[in-house]
Structures are given as structure tokens and as C-alpha cells.
Amino acid sequence: MRVASFNINGIKARLPRLLEWLEETRPSVACLQEIKTQDEGFPASEFEKIGYRAIWHGQKGFNGVAILADGADPVEVQRGLAGEPEDEHSRYIEADVFGVRVACIYLPNGNPQPGPKFDYKLRWMDRLRSRMREIAAEEVPAVVIGDYNVVPNDCDVWSAAAMAPDALMQPASRDAYRRLLHDGWTDALAMHNPQGGIWTFWDYQAGAWQRDHGFRIDHALLSPELADRLAGCGVDKEYRGREKASDHAPVWVALRE
């Protein structure tokens, strides 16, 4: 069973690339971020043509998350996070799929920092931790996967010095991420690549892709019940190099049944 995540950076603009990736790699579950469409504009029928069924939480022009399952209906558990009723951003959706609890997240970027956007990021991370603790208390096999907008360590970025002022690299962001790990969740890519040097994002600017100036911000955190089933993980890097690509590459975890 393969659970994958892809920040598609606009589902309408990149639908051909997305369908291409789904058909070529055939993940059991695909979590999408930055779909950037209202609910009624989500192209569910296009996915149904190739055997995927979906749930989604959209928003006009920004954000938006979705969970696709190959030949099955994801059973929605929750959309959005508790703790801030006025928060209308579509950044979280959670479902039961193939016996696994899957949470798809698009964590706030937080730039510019300091400022209200960074404060919102940290509050959102606290709310995410609360929800992840609730999931952990259920003792179900679970994965919280998506764009975390946090570079966990200096080995996860092409140049720590160049990125030092960024919200993705701030001690407060990293501390909030580490708290999730200390709660018992496993960072799959970090466990399999302790030396770092694995990127999931390359900016469109300054020839970042051509120069391999990337960093790792897309993560899959596994509950103890699921970490024991981890058979492999990786980044589908080649898809970042295709025409009209997203600035992210898909990440995935392979799980023993």
C-alpha cells in the first residue's frame, strides 16, 4: 500500500501532470495540497475516469486539500482543525482509507516573519498537535502527510545560510515540528535518509531546479502503529522537471499490509 502526497500548486493548471503522475505511479492513496479551487470546481470526474474517488475541502484561489483513493471511497472523519472558529482556510482533511487514518495537511507558510502570518502558523501547528494527539489516543494506524512548510534540520536544505531568515527555518517552527516527533510520530523520510540531502521543493525563481537548490518541507509522519509497517519511502523527483510542473515533487510511503 502506497500513500503519497503532492502539493499540486493549482489543480486546474496542472491537471494533466497530476493525472500523468497518478497513472504512472498508481498510489493507493493520494493527498493533494494547494488545489486552489472552490468545492464545486474540483475535477472529481477526471479522477473517476482513471479509478480514483475523492473527498476535498476547497477554497477559491488559495489553499485547498483533497484525498484520493484508488477504487475506494475515502470515509471523511474531519475537515478543518478545532480551536480557531474564525479560521476559514482550507488546510486540513482527514479520512479512513484502506484501514488507515489519513490526514492531509497544508500548513501555513508563515512569511513574512515576524508578523501575523507567522503567529498564525505557530497557532495552527499547536492546533495540529492537539488533533494528532487525539488520533494517537485512538491507537489507529495513521499518517499525517502533506506540505508542512517546515525545514526540520539544516541538512534538509541546500543552503541553511541562504534560507536562515525564512519562516520555514525559524527555531519556533522547528520546535513545533519536533514536538510532534517527541509525541511519538515518525518522520518517514528522515528515518530512511538520516544524512539529509533529500529535497521536495524547488522554487521557480533563480534557476533553483536547474541548480538543485531545494529543500524538504513535504513530510509523512506515521503513528507508532503504522511506523512498524513502513517498507519504504521516497520522492518522485523527476515530476518536478516536467513541463508546467508544480514547484513540489510528490512524496510517498510504502506500507506492509
Catalytic residues: 106, 147
Give all strands (DSSP E) within the chain, no chain letters. Answer: 2-7, 29-33, 52-57, 65-70, 75-79, 92-97, 100-106, 142-147, 186-187, 201-202, 214-215, 218-222, 230-235, 251-255
For residue 114, is the peptide bond before it cis, meaning its omega torsion is within 30 degrees of 0?
Answer: yes
Pairing of strands 75-79, 92-97: antiparallel
Give φ, ψ of 147 to 5 degrees.
Answer: -90, 105
d(CA 177, CA 149) in angstroms, rounded, equals 10
Can you tell me the distance from the alpha carbon of 216 to that of 32, in angstroms, rounded to the nearest whole number? Answer: 17
